[in-house]
Each structure stands twice: as C-alpha cells, then as structure tokens.
C-alpha cells in the first residue's frame, strides 16, 4: 500500500510540479556536483580550487537549540593532460573531524567515456551525489538520504562513466569494497549494522577498509525530455567482516538496494522525488551473532515541490517548498525479531530557500516529525542555515 501511495505521489510530482532548484544553474539536465564541476571547469588551467560549506541551527520543540558549522569541504582538481585529471574533497565536520570525501583519478577514454579509480561516491538516489547545500531545499538533507541511503556514502573502487548522447542516457558502473559488518573485540563479535540506522554504521570511508568480496554499483539516467531527469540505481554484494570472524555464521549479510529518482524543472516550479528499497539477507543469523536488531528490508521515499516567488528575470531566487517523506529501517524482519514501529518514521518539511547570489543560500524550515508508534513522541524541529558553494 505504501509503495502504491508513493507511486501516485511520484507521478503527480513529475507531471504537475516544475521548479528550477536542483543546482547552481537551476536546471536538472545541466546539474553538476562539485567533482563534476572540477572535471569540467579547468579551462586550460592545471589546478582548480573550490569549496562548499554550511552552518546550521536546529531547534527541537522543548529542548535547547544547537548551532554547528556542520561541514566545510575544500575541493581541489589537477589536470595532468587532456585525458587525465585528479579530484579530491577534504571535509571538516563540526570543526573537529577531518575526512577525505573523494579522491579519484579520471581518465577520458573518449568524448563520452571515462575510467575512474579511487575514493568515489556511490551513485544511489539524488543527494548522495548532489549534496552541496545550494543543490537541495531544506536545512538538513532528506532523512531518507541518511537512514536508508547512508549519505555521504563513499568507498574505494574502480569503474566507468559516460553517456550515450543519441539516446539521452548517462551511465555509471563501479566495483567497490562493501560495508563493514562485524569485528572481534576482546573475544566478542561486535556488529556495525542495526535497526535504527540500517547500514550507516558500516560505511568504511576509506579508513583502512577491509575487503573480502567486492560489491557492484550502477546508475542509469535519462534526460531526453525537456526539464526532466530520471535515475535508476542499483547496489549489490555482501558486507565485509574482519579476518578472524568472517567464517562465522552470521558475520556477513547480503545487500541488494534499488533506487528510483526524478527531478523536473519548468520556469518557476520544480519537483523531485525518490524511492529506495533495500533487501538484506542472512539478518537472522547476523542478529543472533551480534545481538543487534537489523531488519531484513528497508524502504524510504519522498516527494517535494517548490515555487520561486521572485520573477524569472531576477538573479536572486526565493523558493517556497514542501517535502513529504516516509522511511522505515524495519520494513521487514526475519526470525523472531519483531518490527519496531519507532523505526517507521514520517517527516513533513516546509520552508524557504533564498538564493541571494549564485552559490549562496539562506534557508529556514519547520519539520513536523512522527513515527508509527501509537502516541509516539518525536519532537518537531525548527531549522535555519547558511550554505555556500563555489
């Protein structure tokens, strides 16, 4: 029933809503993320530098607010020759943690085909690849892209990306290392995956990543209709356990994830929608081994519409938007594990995004949050933020 409701929502958004808010250019078909801008923006220069960042304020009902320099990401690209480039992103989170978010070599085999190797984003959904603060409405990224797609999801791998221009199709295909599932700590097996946030705790982030069986990730996009961009994603493989526990029953699980997304823009209107479903195998044995409560399926979706309140001839844009999303990390469970209704959550977010200049956005929104527990108490939240990207 939920899937049927989402399908109707998805189709209605794609058909009737229409806002230019998907990128710094406000055009879904020309949208580039930070790495793509570096690759396409050298213009004869060897070194290209950029950055994006966001400062946020979150105020839950009845609690103290939190102010945070949530992230600052420094972007560097180097062009060795006309075919070979290197891209890296260095991220500082909360003014105390440092990560390498991307670091890969891009080799252009032809005009529309490139080989890549290194630390790269997994192409699943919209926000995992396009998460710069000027590219999405709302102070916080959609919760589906946190609990189901563990944004920012990046791993080490190799692959190919390109386009079939005559068919208006773009594609990506990669081999990655997978999620870390279990480790031996002082004789006890500890699991990184659990019901509340699914696979998120298993991201290896290129930090001495362990690999036993590689995973496969792919995405196909269609951009043949004006203003419309459609994506179909897939991710398949097994998790990675530490050497001393990988042969124990339940140390690993299988992951099959599918995603469907759409972005549409026409004049002052825009819309986007996304659906993600993940099937996890061998979770009963995994939970027995680790004592965790990992579900055997996860599902999430959202739909968003927005309207630019300022005239089209103005450089500034003021978008009023609303986004509805539902996400459940216990969409199904195996064995004796009972589904936890607190993991079946719904958010309604509405607010404004004021683009005062290309690359600078001021955001404010209010989130009505709930879960499927009868009388469940989830605090609504007021959010404000400043985002930049250059």
Sorted by where each begins, the domain ranges of the chain are 2-389
Q: Are the C-beta atoms of residues 194 and 225 closer than 8 Å to each other?
A: no
Q: Are the C-beta atoms of residues 120 and 155 closer than 8 Å to each other?
A: yes
List pLDDT tens digits, range 178-192.
999 999 887 789 999
Q: According to the model, what pLDDT value does residue 24 have?
A: 60
List pLDDT tens digits, range 83-140.
999 999 999 999 999 999 999 999 999 989 999 999 999 999 999 999 999 999 999 9
List pLDDT tens digits, range 158-180.
999 999 999 999 999 999 999 99
Query: 10 Å Cβ neighbour count for 80?
Result: 11
CATH number of 2-389: 2.40.160.10
**Per-residue buried b or exposed e for 16-27, using 16+ beta carbons within 10 Å of the residue's own CB:** ebbbbbbbbebb
List pLDDT tens digits, range 209-263.
998 889 999 999 999 999 999 999 999 999 999 988 989 999 999 999 999 999 9
How many CA atoms, within 13 angstroms, populate the side-chain half-sphere of residue 333? 22
Q: According to the model, what pLDDT value does residue 18 have?
A: 37
Structure tokens at 356: 């005062």
Q: Are the C-beta atoms of residues 340 and 195 closer than 8 Å to each other?
A: yes
pLDDT-derived band at 4 (thresholds 50, 70, 90) equals very low
- CA 145 to CA 337: how far, in whole Å? 25
List pLDDT tens digits, range 285-299.
999 999 999 999 999
């Amino acid at each position: 029933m939920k899937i049927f409701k989402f399908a109707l929502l998805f189709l209605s958004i794609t058909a009737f809503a229409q806002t230019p808010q998907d990128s710094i250019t406000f055009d879904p078909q020309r949208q580039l993320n930070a790495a793509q801008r570096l690759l396409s923006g050298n213009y004869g220069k060897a070194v290209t530098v950029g950055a994006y960042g966001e400062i946020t304020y979150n105020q839950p009902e009845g609690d103290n607010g939190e102010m945070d320099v949530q992230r600052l990401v420094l972007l560097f690209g180097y062009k060795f020759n006309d075919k070979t480039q290197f891209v890296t992103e260095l991220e500082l989170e909360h003014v105390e943690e440092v990560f390498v978010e991307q670091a890969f070599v891009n080799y252009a085999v032809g005009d529309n085909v490139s080989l890549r190797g290194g630390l790269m984003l997994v192409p699943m959904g919209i926000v995992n690849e396009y998460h710069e603060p000027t590219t999405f409405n709302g102070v916080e990224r959609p919760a589906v892209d946190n609990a189901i797609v563990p944004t920012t999801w990046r791993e080490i791998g190799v692959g190919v990306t390109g386009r079939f221009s005559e068919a208006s199709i773009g594609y990506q295909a990669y081999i990655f290392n997978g999620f870390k599932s279990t480790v031996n700590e002082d004789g006890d097996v500890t699991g990184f995956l659990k019901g509340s946030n699914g696979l998120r705790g298993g991201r290896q982030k290129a930090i001495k990543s362990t690999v036993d069986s590689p995973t496969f990730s792919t995405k196909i996009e269609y951009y043949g209709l004006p203003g419309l961009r459609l994506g179909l994603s897939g991710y398949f493989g097994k998790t990675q356990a530490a050497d001393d526990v990988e042969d124990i029953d339940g140390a690993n699980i299988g992951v099959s994830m599918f995603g469907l997304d759409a972005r549409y823009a026409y004049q002052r209107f825009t819309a986007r929608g996304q659906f993600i479903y993940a099937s996890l195998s061998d979770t009963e044995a995994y939970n027995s081994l680790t004592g965790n409560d990992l579900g055997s399926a996860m599902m999430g979706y959202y739909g968003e519409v927005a309207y630019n309140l300022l005239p089209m001839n103005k450089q500034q844009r003021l978008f009023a938007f609303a986004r509805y999303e539902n996400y459940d990390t216990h969409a199904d469970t195996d064995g004796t594990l009972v589904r936890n209704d607190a993991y079946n959550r719904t958010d309604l977010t509405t607010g404004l995004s004021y683009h005062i200049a290309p690359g600078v956005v001021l955001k404010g929104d209010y989130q009505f949050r709930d879960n499927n527990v009868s009388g469940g108490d989830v605090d609504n939240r007021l959010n404000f933020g400043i985002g930049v990207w250059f």
